[in-house]
Structure 1
């Protein structure tokens, strides 16, 4: 058997093995994750009726895949690790759940998709970052505003929250993101007016 023929067969085998690996990877279903509401300290006062408006997220995060950072300017996209719903919708929903856990008993927190008509304060949130640094530390940077529905002055604040995951897994990263969102809910709950309209 000539040497060129041996090389040719080796090349065909290498291509076959590479194709088999790619096929195995593509047949593996992606893992799907969701943020979760976390416990927090309850604030006192009368029942409140806030509503969380649609949340703004950076375009680079507005995708099904979970985004990570491997440097100052380089982003990584985890093709087989995805969000269970659009990130903006998930943050809006979970923030409403977090606020419900922190506000006085009888409070009703809605979202712009579940308005009841009795909301006294609108919570507006714009995220500028919500992803990990290259060392895994979750960074949440946001501006939030409390806007009375009828009269009164709006209150605007900026915040930066960091959380370290317990390990390097994606599940731990998502839990740290949930914890950071819970801390944001603590700050928002503490800034809500204590005399909001009763239901």
Structure 2
């Protein structure tokens, strides 16, 4: 068997080093954050945010973007820090707490006490960026009052432009869109 020339061995060594470097690149991990809000005056409210429904195409650790009308991109090295549905539920509860009267208690369905005045249910049909980067949040939400029989159901479509084209800016715009949704829900809770 013949040995490879030095130039071929050097090329093979460089190629192996490049592959090893790519495979050892750790993913960047992101989380949604509660958006600033103004506490409203009034009687404190107790509420729970039920488990959030997300579309199956978003139910993955990787961050999903649209690269066209029918094409999705999955960022292998940019991931969510927790399942998107759990994160939206937690952050929405935080956002509502910031917007409701002082003394209000908002919990997630995992910490239900059974004493809540109402429950917020949320089903997202979209929560991702368009090909141009604009974040689109499309949702249906329902308020179930313990004392009233008929729930209140509404839909929302919220768009936000990220400050730049980075994933961090997109995630911040998603957080802001969720905060705007919390503004709308809090308006109905008061």
- TM norm. shorter chain > 0.5: yes
Of residues 165-174 and 143-152 in structure 1, the stretch that sits farther from structure 2 once superposed is 143-152
- The alpha-carbon deviation at position 50 of structure 1 amounts to 1.1
Aligned residue in 2 for 1:99: 96
Aligned residue in 1 for 2:49: 52
Aligned residue in 2 for 1:90: 87
Task: Provide TM-score, normalisation by structure 1.
Answer: 0.88
Answering whether residue 182 of structure 2 is matched by residue 189 of structure 1, we say no
Give every structure 1 segment of 4 or more consecutive aligned residues whose post-TM-superposition deviation is greater than 3 Å.
12-19
2:132 to 112, 117, 135: 135
Aligned length: 187
Aligned residue in 2 for 1:31: 28
Residue by residue, what CA displacement relative to the aligned partner does 1:62-92 show, whole Å, maximum 9, x if unpaired? Answer: 0000111111111111111111100000000
Alpha-carbon distance in structure 2 between the residues aligned to 1:112 and 1:101:
18
2:169 to 149, 172, 178: 172
Residue by residue, what CA displacement relative to the aligned partner does 1:137-173 show, whole Å, maximum 9, x if unpaired? Answer: 1000000000112433100001000001101111111
Alpha-carbon distance in structure 2 between the residues aligned to 1:15 and 1:158:
57
Residue by residue, what CA displacement relative to the aligned partner does 1:99-132 show, whole Å, maximum 9, x if unpaired? Answer: 0000000100011001122101110000000000
**Secondary structure of 1:181's partner?**
helix
- The alpha-carbon deviation at position 22 of structure 1 amounts to 2.2
Alpha-carbon distance in structure 1 between the residues aligned to 2:131 and 2:13:
35
Alpha-carbon distance in structure 2 between the residues aligned to 1:84 and 1:53:
20
Alpha-carbon distance in structure 1 between the residues aligned to 2:29 and 2:86:
15
Aligned residue in 1 for 2:58: 61
Alpha-carbon distance in structure 1 between the residues aligned to 2:157 and 2:89:
18
Of residues 112-121 and 82-91 in structure 1, the stretch that sits farther from structure 2 once superposed is 112-121
Task: Provide TM-score, normalisation by structure 2.
Answer: 0.92
CA contact (8 A) 1:41 1:186 kept: no
- The alpha-carbon deviation at position 186 of structure 1 amounts to 0.2
CA contact (8 A) 1:43 1:190 kept: no
Answering whether residue 113 of structure 2 is matched by residue 116 of structure 1, we say yes
